Structure 1
């Protein structure tokens, strides 16, 4: 079912890694978080013969874990699958998120960097992180740094088009722009989403549906539920849309008519689960919401862990996850074309180095070794 497209996919960019890539009409874009390249000094034959001889780095900083972390960066790469792929932008970062417009012209990139040599200041829980926001309007060849407070984290970017979108950061906090990032308006977050003891609290999930509605989910430890709030474009205050009992939300997909599908996993988020309970079976399930009633459409076997849920071009539902019943694990997809009633499950083999599903074209991409594969899920 897979067609091999390339045998040396992004092999020349070191250290190796495909990054969070996109492919359209044989053109490639990728956002790649990467460590600095570590190079060992070439040893002489005499050194190799020594029983206690050890490989040494060419530069002293390569022995410093904190310095290695400080030299991590994010790259934007672009090019042709059959030709050269080059670095179009690079910035120091240990965190990053991006958004690419459907025509690939506009890209937004948010980066986060902190000095791993620093310790938190007195009375502070965390070392400060420096946040930056960039925009390109020519497929990443030229970039503009947008005005943004460096102390306000950006974890996720969710855009409707090149001018209108949201930023979501620690707190959690939400900002909205209508003019391509020139101005930002902060919006209120749902009651109960924040934790006074954790300034870096985040939503469990933030998704922007085809209906133009931003949805956010978080787990409430006090009653064991996951409320989902909806913020249609143009409104200023999120409203509670539905509540899942005793489940943690993993993903949300909504069509143009506002029919909502929720991928969730039974139980609390991992960081709120007692260590002795973390290995207990926690089935993934898909739920449907039509605006009035919430229904569990399907529960998968406990060993199938779902990470993403997509709407396919032919209005199918695509479950993307892993089978963690073995030590190495394997990638798994499941497709339903009857609204989540019945599913065809496929084992895609050992976990890949990278890949994604293009919900606009129905193309699924997978990288294994240096090989790039493609198949259709319409």
Structure 2
């Protein structure tokens, strides 16, 4: 069974698999959508609901997740405000270019945008008939961005999201492997990872894409560029963590040990902290940190063992973690809940 979900918590919480998704219709503009706009329901418990991703909008924190919930915090995660969002669909990823301009993606191939740091959002694009999710979004600059998703979906905009075009034909992906994540690699270009170890890279801002031979045949849920040129990490099922220093020409498997042997929890997301260290999170409350550009990692499993889907750095060597149970504040090693 082909699974498009980046983390097991999504599959468990929503009981959805790719085999249940029906790809019908063609891409449509938001103005052509037949359904009336429904806004996410305001809830005092939104910060404790299922949340999937987190990002910085300048000093502000923004998180996205189930039922169209988008929340923002201006005090390092101590308190949260709920944004007005024109959807009730699961949102899977969020990206900010600066302190004002950001984008979020989710089910029904929805793309949302904000110009006020995440306080309010508008819908730029959706495809209701396709019933397939977008899973990640990345902008090179204010005008040029990409979104990736299920069934090989690759969307591009060159006008800040006013128009989106399906450019999946640029990929050598005949089986339409699900594309789970996209990142920008320093001094190299764009990199995509997905289902069954699929990898693609572009050194010309997405104009052309080349498939990359992967050393792993299982699904990769995330990818991140490090502080070093041409260096990136890809990660996914069963604790698989791969590092390349040459933009994917070669790979080295990073083994993370636990008291019971190699880590086997799925890894979902990662962030680069201000000091250049890397943090990767995943199932079983797993929090991995590397201080040597991803060559080695220390591991901490949180006592609650809740699946983690997203991570972002805070001040004073602290982390914002999101996933099951919503928002969690922790030390940069993942230990000891930090009380507001």
Which band: TM-score by shorter chain? 0.5 to 0.7
TM-score normalised by structure 1 residue count: 0.59
Structure with bigger strand share is 1
- Counterparts of 1:1-378 in structure 2, within 5 Å, are 12-13=44-45, 16-17=48-49, 19=51, 20-22=53-55, 27-33=60-66, 73-81=67-75, 85-112=80-107, 130-146=108-124, 149-151=127-129, 153-155=132-134, 156-187=136-167, 188-195=169-176, 202-203=178-179, 205-211=180-186, 213-219=189-195, 226-255=197-226, 257-265=229-237, 284-291=240-247, 294-300=250-256, 301-307=261-267, 308-322=269-283, 330-352=284-306, 356-358=310-312, 363-366=318-321, 372-376=328-332
Give the CA deviation at 1:157.
Answer: 1.9
* Cα displacement (A) at 1:192: 3.7
CA distance in 2, matches of 1:241, 1:371: 35
Task: Tell which has more relative contact order, 1 or 2 (C-alpha 8 A, sep 6+).
Answer: 2
Preserved CA contact (<8 Å) 2:147 2:156? yes
Task: Structure 2 unaligned segments of length 5 or more: list them.
Answer: 1-41, 334-340
**Distance of 1:371 and 1:219 partners within structure 2:** 28
TM-score (norm 2): 0.65
Please, what is the CA RMSD of the aligned residues? 3.9
Note the residue ranges of structure 1 that are not aligned, 5 or more in a row.
1-9, 34-72, 113-129, 196-200, 221-225, 266-281, 323-329
Q: Deviations over 1:230-258 (max 9, x none)?
A: 02353422112342154443322223621
User: Any conservation in 2 of the 1:164–1:176 contact (CA below 8 Å)?
Assistant: yes
Indicate the residue corresponding to 1:274 in structure 2.
Answer: none
> For residues 76-133 of structure 1, what are the alpha-carbon distances to aligned partners after superposition, in whole Å with 9 as ceiling and x for unaligned?
3335549874433144433323434253312323453xxxxxxxxxxxxxxxxx5543
Q: State the number of aligned residues.
A: 278
Contact between 1:101 and 1:161, CA under 8 Å: does it hold in 2?
no
> Which has more radius of gyration?
1
Report deviation, 1:144. Answer: 3.4
